Structures are given as structure tokens and as C-alpha cells.
Chains A and B, each alone.
Chain A
């Protein structure tokens, strides 16, 4: 079993990297001052474009709790509200010039609206990329290429400097390095505390990519040396959902005796899945990857696609239960939860559909999670 000292040493080495998770306003302000930030929201934003623009792509993760901006109604999810809160604070700090660039990838109705409010009130240097919703549509690839070119032109214009295909190629190499590292990390989920792996996955969307690559190149081989790690006897669960702005759910599950062996959230592995081909025309390569990667509920590849992908993941990772963590007012995930829950029940797998207001489970959510895990423990095949 991995010793606490060994884990502490790892923490020391990841300390600086993980400091990018600190969402405190001062911290954000500092790193925004030092780097040209390119804030983005949805996992479909091609970070290669931000990198090629010589900027630092960072994903906007809010504090994940309740905040009520005046421009959004009560029935809007806390993901959008939280992003707006952060935006309001940061843009107030930077004044008229705003803070760098922002990139939206069109996804759900709520993010569509947020992108518009963001453009009008937070950052006028906002670019929206509209990927197809039907990834299987005829013409989807051609359209995506044309749309990517339009986005790159717009970003070049805002930066006052042309982004060349060569810039994009270099960016692809960097992004792919990060993706390979995260894929390796993903395989280690069963062996390390859920929150630890999840935070290393999430920080790959926040930290400067070169720093991430450097640190992880050093640490990963040691993490992968798992011969000395005794597998803890934990209940293996898959969690699925939209964005997790922090690791509170992972930590809560860990405390209740579970291990997140697969994380199908928009802020989890889905963002990193699949590589961009390195020797193809960069526009085509980026378009191909976006179409190929596992889709989120806002996009369509066939009515059984997500259920098939997730049940395959369940089998691969030997999950004993599935938790579908819904954010209150998140329509796309709520729609999918019905058929996904049915599918898992058919497979004989316990499912919990857990509705949460923010990213942090409260007392009531804890009760549900605990009862769910207790019912898995009580199943005859686990006794």
C-alpha cells in the first residue's frame, strides 16, 4: 500500500501545479497578469487555437456554489451562474481592456445564452465556435473545417497577428502531449484516491501546458510504479455528469468507501480523449478529433451512442455502480439520465441519479450517496 509519506512527497511535487486550481480571486488575478489568458468554457473548445495564438488556455471553473447574477434567472444552472460571477469579478479588476480572449464552443441552450451575455457584458474579445450538434451529419466535417478557419481568422484579428498553419501544428504537438499524459493518469484511477487523480486531470485544463508536461513527465513514472500499491477494498463507481468545478464529490465518495474508477464528466477525461492527428492539415485534424471523441449529451452520434460508450467503460473499469450526477437545471444531462439509468438497470448495475445544486455535495446528497453505497455492499454478490 502506498504510504502517507510517499503520497505527501507526491503532493509536494505537484504543489505548484495544483496551485492553479486555486480559484481565489487573487490567485486568478496574478496568473492572468502574468500570462495572456484565453478563457474557455466547454470541452469542445479546440485549445490548439488558443495555444497557437500564443495565449494560455484556461478553463473557467467557478467556485461551484450558489451565486445569483442579475442577468440570469433563478432557473439557470450554477455552472453558468458561477462562470458569470468569476467573469464579473475579473473584468471589474482589469477594467475596460477586459482580460485577454474568451472562447466559447456552442453547446447547450444555457451556454449559448451565457456566451452572449459574456460577449456583451464581460469580454468583448469573445469568440464563439459552433461545432455541429449532429456529428454524424453529412457535411459535418467540411462544415467544422470551415467554421474552424473562421474562428482562427477571428482570433488572429483580435490578437493583431496572423495564426499560421505552422503555429497550429506546434500547438497540436503540445496538446497531444498533455492528452497522452492524462490518458496514462486515467489508467491509475483504481490505485489512488479519487480526488487526487481528478485534480491532476482538472488542472491540465488550467495550468500552463509546458509546466504541466514538465511536472507530469517527472511524476507519472513514479505514480505508475504500482507494484507496491495494495489495492484498497473500495466500491468501484463510475460517475457521469456535466462540469465538476472541484473534487468535493470525489472526496465525499472516497470518504464513504468508494473509488471513482471512471469519470465521464465534461471536465474529466472526455476533454482529453483522442489525439489530434499530427501529420494532417491542422484544420482537418482538429475537426476529425472533435467528431471522433466521445460526445457530450449536447451532440448526437446516434441514439444509443452514449449508453454504449458508458457501458463499455463500466465493463473496462469493472465498475460496481454508476452515479449520474445532475446539476439542477442542466437539461442535456437530465434528458440522458433517463435512458442511461434504464440501460444500466438492464445490465443489473445499481444506478443513482443524484441531483445537485452546485459542485459540492451537501448533507442530503451525502445521505443518498451513503445509502446507495450501502445498498451495493448489501447486494448478495458483494457479500
Chain B
């Protein structure tokens, strides 16, 4: 690996990144040219939220694309802010989710949109297990494109998943299946669904294993790696391709562990990250930490795709898994999750990105921080920014906060 790359990033680059580029490049290329074969192959395009049980859609040969992942792509390509402005001029206020604004802006600004924008959807599919915003965002999309909107409503879990939650989600699955049968003209194939679920299961297990390997001291990965290499498990969930991809990725990480290679050479501090990445500053932001030999060894965000699939019949398993996602859970649950990670990964401190775009993730962070610090004695800091809209990022203020936080760790 070139020294230049490492200098720009501030830590050890991964070989698998090349494969990431080709895998995701292929996905977006397929998306771009879908219009040429979608109709002859009767393969519908769906715009899907990141927490939707996509396995069911794939069982109907649907080609899913993810506006949220695309939002991250726009953020990393640093075009989000311009796309957001486009949406704002159409009346969408600046305080709305920046993934949503980027996505809506990309519909009319094809010239700016990476990969020429997402292919026009035949339908859209939303599950509210990650936030309530997706409902409003997708309602707007349904109006813009005048296409059907399928909703899976997963009730917020106050304490634990109960029978009536699962039953409700199952009822909706059954209805979704019959609607998809009509809409796609295909018969529901349970065996196919099981096959897809087993691919999901396999990639989840690989993803879990890769995350666990970061318990090693020094950690083989720094968290920006997880953010980037998350793309396939979101966008290609339920495919053999995703499984292959994560086998390769695991191979490289295992080699690092075997040879005692650290992502951040001379790792001195081990940190935990909470919330979505700051995409437009991905490396520049984390460089402030790597410069001080601090490695982010674990996070809550990429853990959202590391949830075990529940056992049992395929639909029930999906119903339970997708309802129990951590963003759909109580403060107590979220705090305990961080407390456990701190223990398992031997974490010295945690950084919470107070993300203007993501209210369900961010508005309880101060409370979560209070509980976690009380239980573990580990310090945490909140840094206000936004995942995609760079106008909400203030270089100087962030730098001062990070510096002050690292200084407290250095004293301890």
C-alpha cells in the first residue's frame, strides 16, 4: 500500500477496499442500467429503507436500492450539501434529514448525483424500525413518482418484544406477500425466501465475526473501515455476493490479527463510536484521533446489521428480528448495549456524534451518556455535526472538543 494513502487516511489502509469499490461500483452500475432490462426480465426496482426486511422483496426477484446508502455515497462524494440546497428550494426545510434531502435533490440534479442518481422506482418500501422520518420521506417519494408504497409498521419496543408485536408484523408480511404477488405477477416461493435468509444469516455471522476480531489488542480495524465496508451488508443483504465479499474481508482482518497488525500503529486508546458517520469528513475527522494513537474499535451504528436472525419459521424470524432492531428500543436497552460493548472491547472512552439529521438516534444520547458513565466510569463526549450536510459542521468547534476530550483521557 502506498505511503500517500496512509498519510491521507492517517492509519493503515485495507486491501479489501479495492474489492469494495468494484462490488459497490457494480451494484450502482446495475442500478444505472436497470431501465434496459428491468421490464423484459420483470425485475422491479424498489427504493427501500435500510431496516426493511428486504429478504421478502428479493424472494420476488425485486432489485432493491437504498436511498440511505446513497445518501452516504453523496456525503462521501461531498455533493450532499448542493443536493440538499436543491431540495430546500423545493420547500423541504433545512432541518429535515440530510439523507432525505440529498435523495430528493438528486432526483432533479442528475448532473450532480453520483452514478447519475438512483433508477426510477417501480414501488417503494419502508419500515419504521429505524425512525419515523422514513415514513414522511417515502410518502413524499410516493407522491413525486406516483408509485405504490408498501409499509411495514414495527411498533416501538418500550421494554421487550411481545406476542402482539410479532403478530402485527406477521399480519403485515402476509399482506405484503399477497400484494407483491399481484404487483410482480410472481408466486411466493418459500424455499427461495429460505435460501435468501440463509445468505443474510451467513453474512450477518461474518459481519459479527469481523466486529469481534476488533476485540483484539491492538485492533485490526479502525471504525471508518466498518462504515465503508458496511455498504454491501446493507445494499446486498440476502445475496451470495455479500457472503463472498465478507469472506474476503474476514480473511484480511484475520491475517492482521494473526500478525498482530494494528489499524492505528502504536494503539494507545480504544474508543467506541455512537451514531452514523460524518461522511464528508470521514478520514479528516478520525485523523484527529489517530494522531493521538486512539483507535475506534467498536460502534453502535454498524452493529445494527449484526443482529442475529431469530430462529423459527422464516417469516416469524424476520418479524422478530426486524422489530427488535436497536434504534427501535428504549434508552435502557441502548445504554446497556454500550455498557456491554465497553466491557467486551476494553474501551477507554466513547464519542457520540450528535447528528442533527437523526433525532431518534441523537435526542437521547445525553441520557444514554449519563447512564453509561455512571455505570462504567468511562468518559464520553458529544460532538454536534451532521451525517451528510457539511454546513452543520464547524471545524474549529469540533477540533476543540476532540482535543479537550483526548486530554482528559491522557490524564487518566
Binding site for B on A (CB under 8 A): 70-76, 80, 106-110, 112-114, 116-117, 119-121, 128, 130, 132-134, 137-140, 142-143, 146-147, 150, 297-298, 300, 303, 326, 328-329, 331-332, 334-339, 341, 353, 355
Contact = CB atoms under 8 A, between A and B. Distances in A.
B386 to A, nearest CB: 9
16 contacts: A73-B366, A75-B359, A76-B359, A106-B156, A112-B156, A130-B155, A130-B156, A137-B175, A138-B175, A142-B164, A143-B168, A143-B171, A146-B167, A300-B135, A337-B91, A339-B140
Interface stretch (B125-133, B191-199, B254-262): B125-133
Contacts of A335: 92, 96, 133, 136-137, 139-140
Contacts of B331: 116-117, 119-120
A142 B168 contact: yes
B153 A331 contact: no
B344 interface: no
Contacts, number: 153
B360 interface: yes
Contact of B132 (A109, A139, A142): A109
Contact of B93 (A108, A140, A143, A326): A326
A146 B380 CA distance: 40
B288 interface: no
A138 B364 contact: no
Given A113-B364, A331-B136, A334-B93, A133 B171 contact: no
Contact of A332 (B128, B132, B155): B132
Interface in B352-375: 354, 356, 359-360, 362-367, 370-371
Contact of B366 (A71, A128, A338): A71
Nearest to B333: A116
B20 interface: no
A359 B141 CA distance: 30
A51 to B, nearest CB: 22
A304 to B, nearest CB: 8
A331 B155 contact: no
B153 A75 contact: no
Contact of B133 (A109, A138, A139, A143): A109
Nearest to B104: A338
A73 B354 contact: yes
Nearest to B91: A338
B362 A116 contact: no
A297 B137 CA distance: 12
B142 interface: yes
A146 B174 CA distance: 19
B336 interface: no
A298 B142 CA distance: 16
B316 to A, nearest CB: 14
A334 B140 CA distance: 11
A133 B95 contact: no
Contacts of B382: 73
Contacts of A143: 155, 164-165, 167-168, 171
B384 interface: yes
Given A116-B330, A116-B331, A142-B167, A147 B93 contact: no
Interface string B252-286: 00000000000000000000000000000000000
A146 B166 CA distance: 12
Contacts of B93: 326, 334, 337, 355
Contacts of A116: 330-331, 364, 367
A298 B95 contact: no
A169 B195 CA distance: 50
A73 B385 CA distance: 11
Contacts of A133: 128, 132, 135, 151, 153
A108 B156 CA distance: 11
A116 B360 CA distance: 11
Given A73-B365, A113-B360, A140-B168, 20 more contacts: A71-B370, A72-B363, A73-B363, A73-B366, A73-B384, A107-B132, A113-B364, A116-B330, A117-B363, A133-B132, A137-B151, A139-B168, A139-B175, A142-B168, A303-B139, A303-B143, A328-B95, A335-B137, A338-B90, A338-B92
Interface range for B: 35 or more
B153 A137 contact: yes
Contacts of B170: 139
Most buried by B among A146, A332, A338, A353: A338
Most buried by A among B132, B139, B155: B132
B162 interface: yes
The 3 closest A-B pairs by CB, nearest first: A139-B171, A335-B136, A146-B164
A133 B175 CA distance: 16
B366 A109 contact: no
Most buried by A among B95, B163, B175, B356: B95
Most buried by A among B90, B174, B359, B367: B359
A140 to B, nearest CB: 8
Given A73-B366, A106-B155, A328-B95, A138 B174 contact: yes
A339 B354 CA distance: 29
B392 to A, nearest CB: 9
Nearest to A329: B95
A341 B137 contact: no
B139 A73 contact: no
A112 B95 CA distance: 18
Nearest to A108: B132
Nearest to B144: A339
Contacts of A110: 359, 363
A45 to B, nearest CB: 14
Given A76-B359, A303-B143, A332 B136 contact: yes
Contacts of A334: 92-93, 95-96
B97 interface: yes
Contacts of A130: 155-156, 158
Given A112-B360, A138-B171, A138-B174, A336 B136 contact: yes
Interface string B146-186: 00010101011010001111011011101100000000000
Most buried by B among A80, A117, A137, A298: A137
B340 to A, nearest CB: 19
A331 B149 contact: no
Given A71-B367, A106-B156, A338-B140, A331 B168 contact: no
Nearest to B146: A303
A108 B359 CA distance: 10
Most buried by A among B139, B174, B331: B139
A119 B168 CA distance: 26
Nearest to A129: B158
Given A137-B151, A139-B171, A341 B156 contact: no
Nearest to B163: A146
A109 B131 contact: yes
